[in-house]
Amino acid sequence: MALLKLSGVTKAYDQLKVVDDFDLTLHQGELRCLLGPNGAGKTTTIDLITGRQKLTGGTIALNGNVISDWPEHLRVRAGLARKFQVPAVFKGLTVAQNLEAAFTRHLSPLRNMFVFRDRETQDRIQEVASLVNLAGRLSVRADELSHGETQWLEVGMVLTQNPRVLLMDEPTAGMTTQETRKTGDLLNRLKGSHTLLVVEHDMQFVRQIAERVTVMHMGRFLAEGTIGEVESNADVRRVYLGHGGARHA
């Protein structure tokens, strides 16, 4: 059974269809890249999955449950998590404090104080920090991190909740070449234990991480397959990558 399934998903503003009868299926442990030119509908699709925007038509199912009408917070509780292009972290807090805040399970500050002191919680925070390349930066304030480290911190904050599906919108935007490579290594470590849908433009990065690629154009499904299959697809070369093709984009 599919973990995340979009069937005929549509988002329209009057007569303009931003996402048009779009289908997508993700299975447990898969890492899928969602590609397409600007305006293809990629970010809107992520908004629809998370409930940030409402569907005009179609259905979205998570682990067999139709969540199309669920509010955002219930989708989060069900296991959907999102990493935005612009990271949202607490700049005045340390890396450790940011991870602790993301790990919060209770509304009561007093209860959370004891949770943070719990050995299991501290072990989880250390585990996540190591995973996102920040094990040696736990005492550093977030406003002192590099751009790439800030992106990794937000990924870590999302991972503390152990989501079923992690949605990532251009996770390497603004990163150096070295940071981009390390981010690819991170996502490759996550796949299998996590299910990821990654919106990305950097084709070199896509080649590093992609097992399977789905391409959108003008809100509709255009192509799907391995990176090699997509790069050689005539329609993809024409509308997304230009007549020179993926390797010359």
Report which DSSP code applies to 137. Answer: G
User: What is the reported pLDDT for 63?
Assistant: 94
What CA–CA distances, in Å, run from 112 to 109, 116, 154, 238?
5, 6, 20, 54
Cα 130 to the chain's mean position, in Å?
A: 19
Alpha helix locations (H) across 163-233? 177-190, 203-209, 227-231
| Predicted pLDDT of residue 124 | 85
73 HSE (CA, 13 A, CB side):
0
Tokens at 130, concatenated: 């190591």
pTM: 0.87
Q: Which of 155, 165, 162 is nearest to 29 (CA)?
A: 165
- Write down the H helix ranges in the chain: 42-50, 72-78, 95-102, 109-117, 119-131, 147-159, 177-190, 203-209, 227-231, 234-239
Whether CATH 3.20.20.70 fits 1-79+164-249: no
Q: Confirm if 82 and 167 have CB atoms less than 8 A apart.
A: yes
Region(s) of the chain under CATH 3.40.50.300: 1-79+164-249
Low-confidence ranges of the chain (pLDDT < 50): 107-114, 243-249
Report phi then psi at 110, rounded to 5: -65, -45
- Please report the pLDDT score of residue 173 as a whole number: 85
